[in-house]
Amino acid sequence: MLHIADIHQNKKSIINKLLIKNFNAENLINTVIEKDDLRKLNQQKSDEILAMSNKIAKEISILYKIGKVDKVNLLKEKSLLLKKESKELSSFRVQIEKEIKDILIQIPNTPYHTVKQGTSDKNNEILREVGEIPKLEDNAKSHWELTDDYDLINFKLGNKITGAGFPVYKGKGARLQRSLITYFLDKNIEAGYTEYLPPLLVNEASGFGTCALPDKEGQMYRSTEDNLYLIPTAEVPVTNFFRDVVIKDFPIKCTAYTPCFRREAGSYGKEVRGLNRLHQFDKVEIVQVEHPDKSYETLETMVKHVSSILDELELPYRLLRLCGGDISFASALTYDFEVYSAGQKRWLEVSSISNFESFQANRLKLRYKDSNGKSQLCHTLNGSALALPRIYASLIENNQTKEGIIIPKVLQKYTGFHIIE
């Protein structure tokens, strides 16, 4: 959520920056400023009434002592009128503050200065490509064929017990999935992250704090009776560890494995077939809470960390900087990693790493004390390290041979086997 003070001071700049996200905020910004000016006038009037009430209270005390009861009664009547007016002003202030908040939560975060204008993922910048594209046999198969041939994943069984997008992993397929999770966590812990195992259900306040609500409410599974939401990513519960907290030491580095749940529906066809688009999937997340002066340096460190994991998995990948039309509502800057899927002959997104600056922290009331003892908002960052479905798909597609599916060396100590035959 943007800051009211920043909106007043940098109105034109904020409106122009949001145009990069293809969001015309002019009317909303003007309305927020108008309502905030009303709020300030209301507060000023309330302060004046409070001062008058305090003055009357002192006068009443003095008049009581000297026995001027008539004047005391007159002042009491005046005091009652002031209390009534104060109550009305307070009620108006609560309403106007709610209206301001309702508008603010509609306004996206402003993009970082390196974010280019664009309308879709086609306008994202490719910053670098790493690794060689595998050259497979002409009869190479997609992962949904391989998982069927080697009895690794049963999509039909998942469809039977739940519905489409809920796969059942089996045998070596399940072992490979578990190995990837453990490997990712080990790499993150090695990089200084503390592991957590958070709840999979969160309340509305947690969803609001990370901007999952109301922005992505339609994509989240909800338990209506308890008003709880299944998490779309571990970012939601983990970042909310620090809601209403004053941070004393930076950085805070957290990692968590969780199943993730998303209602998002895709079109039919190979782009959403198999593991390409799921309603339940596994992901290992990294989250950092950082000092504002260090957050962009930290973002680059997070990018290097994910790069090192993909290097060890020997997967060809590319790094993209998202354009204004593809970056999320809450992000100021996002990098995406895509790996090459040789069986499908296309690039698949496997990680997004974002700096939200103080946008989430403003909702979370996540603060620190500066050198002058003044409360300031922290910066929050998060990324996938990594999301499993498309990593899994690319691994088995890219490493298929006549003998079987070769397991990357770095995973063999986790799987206990080097080939799936």
Per-residue pLDDT reduced to its tens digit, 263-307: 975 545 556 899 999 999 999 999 999 999 999 999 999 999 999
Protein fold of 121-420: BirA Bifunctional Protein; domain 2 (3.30.930)
Q: What is the pLDDT of residue 265?
A: 56
Q: What is the pLDDT of residue 267?
A: 47
Q: What is the pLDDT of residue 266?
A: 53
CA distances for 76 relative to 21, 233, 256, 399, 407, angstroms: 57, 58, 61, 86, 85
299/306 Cα distance (integer angstroms):
11
147 CB contacts (<8 Å, ≥6 apart)? 153, 155, 173, 274, 396
Q: What is the pLDDT of residue 43?
A: 95
For the whole model, what pTM was predicted? 0.93
The overall average pLDDT reported for the chain is 95
Q: What is the pLDDT of residue 72?
A: 82
Q: What is the pLDDT of residue 324?
A: 98
Q: What is the pLDDT of residue 264?
A: 73
297/392 Cα distance (integer angstroms):
30
Domain ranges of the chain: 4-104, 121-420
Please report which residue ranges of 226-275 form alpha helices under DSSP H: 235-239
CA distances for 210 relative to 55, 164, 191, 206, 261, angstroms: 45, 28, 24, 7, 16
Report whether CATH 1.10.3470 matches the domain 4-104. Answer: no
Q: What is the pLDDT of residue 71?
A: 85
> Same topology for domains 4-104 and 121-420, yes or no?
no
- 303-308, long-range: CB < 8 A, 24+ apart: 303/335, 303/353, 303/383, 305/187, 305/188, 305/191, 305/385, 306/337, 306/351, 306/353, 306/383, 306/384, 306/385, 306/386, 307/130, 307/337, 308/187
All residue ranges of the chain with pLDDT < 50 are: 267
